[in-house]
Every structure is written in C-alpha cells, then in structure tokens.
C-alpha cells in the first residue's frame, strides 16, 4: 500500500515538474509545518528523498517522494538557451490635449425635477456655444429657476472652458445636472 502511494506521489511530482511546478524540496522547509520528523535524507547524501507531513484533522501522515529530473545537454555539447517570445502590442494612443472641433452631445442627467441634457459646439479647440437640449420644465417654478440659472451656468462654462463651475444659488439640482452633462460632452470632444 505504501509503495503504491509512493508511486502515485512520484507520478504527481513528475507531472508537476513537467508543468513547471516546484516540488516541496525546492524551497526551505518550515519545521512547524513539517513536524518533528522533517525531511528524510537520501542514501546518496543529496537532497531529501521524502517529506513526512504531520497529520491534519486526525488524518494519517502522508509521505511524498521527491523526484529530481535533469535535462540532457543538446547534441554536440554546449548549452541551449531559449527565451519566451516578446509579446507585440501596439502602443496606446495618447489622449488628446485639445478638444476636436464639432458638436458633441452630453449625457441626459436626471435630477430632482427632471432631466438636464446639453450639447457643446467646439471651434478652434474651444467651447464656443452650449445648447440646452433638456431641462426641468414640469413646474412653473422649475421654469423660473432655470430661466435664471441656465444663462449663468453657460457664461461660467464658456469663461472657464470646463465643467468646474459654481452652483447657482437656488438651482442646486439644475446646476448639478448641468455640470455632469457638460463634462460628458467635453469628454467626448477630447476622445473624438
């Protein structure tokens, strides 16, 4: 029975060696993990030939035979070196540093009282116009707030050339949606 287990363990190690896995004897042994028995020295004085593992959860100790394989030198002597082929990948395209000219739509952003959606017009790498495609308009109060807030938001965005603009007092939701939709349109202009 022990001979059969040793043969099976040797086969597993041999397959592991072929696949590139290391055997337990390729690395230093931890005395606490191995137990008091430690590795069994080989008769030739070389590396240990077996490792006895302590039982875990009431299981019987297991013995694993170590197998060492040595590759034969290539015919004609000398050494043979091989290297893995280097992967070829295209270099990533660097991000644009200026916006591409054209009209770019922003995401429709839902806010508390409706959606905000913008588009921007870029000319000469700068935002030249911002069009409001949708804004909260279901209530007369929303229309009144947006009539005041949207021109202020547009003026700031054109001045700063970014979505990093101040929130208009009294129009927190519209301002938030405006910034998000504007930023998505700007992102598209840079990615185009």
Judgement on whether residues 107 and 178 belong to the same structural domain of the protein: yes
Q: Is 97 a domain residue?
A: no
Query: How many domains does the chain contain in total?
Result: 2
The 3-state secondary structure of 161-187, one letter per residue: CCCCCCCCCCCHHHHHHHHHHHHHHHH
| Mean pLDDT of the region 143-170 | 97
- Residue 150, CB half-sphere, CA atoms under 13 Å: how many? 19
| Mean pLDDT of the region 58-73 | 53
Judgement on whether residues 6 and 56 belong to the same structural domain of the protein: yes
Residue 139 predicted with pLDDT over 70: yes
Judgement on whether residues 182 and 106 belong to the same structural domain of the protein: yes
Judgement on whether residues 106 and 183 belong to the same structural domain of the protein: yes
How many angstroms separate the CA atoms of 5 and 21, rounded? 20
Q: Is 81 a domain residue?
A: no
| Mean pLDDT of the region 169-187 | 97
Residue 55 predicted with pLDDT over 80: no
- According to the model, what pLDDT value does residue 36 have? 47
Last residue of a domain, one of 65, 87, 116: 65
Q: Which long-range contacts (CB under 8 A, 24 or more apart) does 161-164 make?
A: 161/126, 161/127, 162/186
How many angstroms separate the CA atoms of 66 and 26, rounded? 10
Residue 152 predicted with pLDDT over 70: yes
Judgement on whether residues 50 and 108 belong to the same structural domain of the protein: no
Q: Is 92 a domain residue?
A: no
168 close to 149: Cβ distance less than 8 angstroms: yes
Judgement on whether residues 174 and 114 belong to the same structural domain of the protein: yes
Q: Is 167 a domain residue?
A: yes
How many angstroms separate the CA atoms of 131 and 114, rounded? 17
Q: Is 70 a domain residue?
A: no
- According to the model, what pLDDT value does residue 177 have? 97
Which domain covers residue 177, as residue numbers? 102-191
Q: Is 76 a domain residue?
A: no
Residue 48 predicted with pLDDT over 70: no
């Amino acid at each position: 029975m022990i001979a059969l287990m040793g043969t099976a363990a040797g086969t597993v190690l041999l397959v592991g060696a072929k696949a590139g896995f290391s055997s337990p004897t390729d690395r230093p042994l931890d005395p606490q993990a191995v137990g008091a028995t430690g590795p069994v020295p080989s008769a030739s004085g070389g590396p240990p030939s077996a490792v006895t593992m302590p039982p875990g959860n009431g299981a019987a100790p297991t013995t694993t035979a170590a197998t060492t394989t040595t590759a034969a030198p290539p015919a004609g002597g000398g050494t043979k070196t091989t290297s893995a082929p280097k992967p070829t990948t295209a270099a990533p395209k660097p991000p644009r540093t200026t916006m591409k000219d054209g009209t770019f739509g922003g995401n429709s952003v839902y806010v508390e009282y409706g959606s905000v959606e913008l588009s921007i017009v870029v000319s000469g790498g700068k935002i030249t116009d911002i069009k409001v495609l949708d804004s909260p308009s279901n209530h007369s109060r929303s229309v009144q707030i947006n009539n005041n807030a949207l021109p202020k938001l547009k003026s700031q965005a054109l001045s700063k050339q970014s979505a990093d603009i101040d929130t208009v007092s009294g129009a927190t939701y519209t301002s938030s949606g405006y910034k998000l939709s504007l930023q998505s349109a700007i992102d598209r202009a840079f990615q185009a």
